[in-house]
Amino acid sequence: MQAIIFCGIQASGKSTFYKERFFNSHVRISLDQLRTRHRERLFLDTCLKSQMRFVVDNTNPTRAERAKYIRMAKAAKYEVIGYFFESGSGDAVRRNSQRSGRFLVPVKGIYGTHKRLEKPTLSEGFDKLYVVQLMPWGEYEVWQVPE
């Protein structure tokens, strides 16, 4: 089974990438939807116990935040794949300004997450790691980090 962990600041294209690439094959685990860590944990436990493929669609900016997902997935014998959404905070703020309602992130939140962001590495326990860039014309460029 496969566990995918997204990492990147808000408005870097993570949720849209999920919808385009994984909607039909992987369950989405997102605090934006689930709202609490308790619900997230219940959802994650269900996926692990039932061997469902899943994507953790959160910012996961630090190594420590990603570690809990990696540890749990590895313990359940999952292949763990990371996707790092590389984006400048200025680009993210511009994309965020096109959102509305509950999808609009406070600008200071974007800058705060960018400040805490630690670029993921294979040494964290990922079996594969990809870098994703959202291009100005709306397409994604994706490349694998060499082992």
pLDDT reported for residue 126: 98
Q: What is the pLDDT of residues 27-66, one digit of tens each?
A: 999 988 898 999 999 999 999 999 999 999 999 999 999 9
Taking alpha carbons only, the member of 27, 33, 29 closest to residue 53 is 27
Q: What is the DSSP string of 73-112?
A: HHHTT-EEEEEEE---HHHHHHHHTT--GGGPPPHHHHHH
pTM of the model: 0.93
How many CB atoms are closer than 10 A to CB 30? Answer: 17
63-75 and 37-50 helices cross at what angle (nearest 10)? 30
Token output for 117: 């962001």
Give all domains of the chain, ordered by start, each with its CATH number. 2-144 (3.40.50.300)
Which residue positions in the chain have pLDDT lower than 50?
none
pLDDT reported for residue 107: 81
- Give the 3-state secondary structure of residue 2: strand
pLDDT reported for residue 102: 74
pLDDT reported for residue 89: 84
pLDDT reported for residue 118: 97
Is 105 within 8 Å of 96 (Cβ atoms)? yes
pLDDT reported for residue 62: 98
Percent helix, percent strand, percent coil in the chain, to nearest 5:
45, 20, 35
